[in-house]
Structure 1
């Protein structure tokens, strides 16, 4: 191999190395965006379920409008005056 072929091979390796790094960063960004979207959608689903008189489970408590809990829109919490739960820490109660 002469010097120009060696230089060409080095440039090729650098290009593919850089391209690989860019692809990995793009994948990480897309995964992060997807997880944020799913978290937001889940939170919105929990809020709608609660507002439509559905039951949520927060820690071990059954949380619903009929159990005297109210939803604080500003803080995104549900409370009965004693217990306060962040809505994203709850889940929809299984029937």
Structure 2
């Protein structure tokens, strides 16, 4: 995962230091290129410095392989606190109410 983040930061330095790469099946996404309405509302209330981006990177699919071009969906944040809150809320599996 660290290699992907470094590749993203190298491909688009304007995203800053606090980035997280989202899987295509992320609950926060409504398709690969936009956030769900719920995620947009959550960001506005909890991480207003967050933004979604698509970035083209070069990444080896496994150690020792040649790099291949890949598009990834990235959330970039203004502060580490915002990234941590987003990751806690949106990247884990939702817990069922007991």
> TM-score, with normalisation over the residues of structure 2?
0.26
Structure number with larger C-alpha Rg = 1
RCO comparison, higher one (Cα < 8 Å, 6+): 2
> TM-score, with normalisation over the residues of structure 1?
0.26
Between Structure 1 and Structure 2, the one with more helix by share is: 1
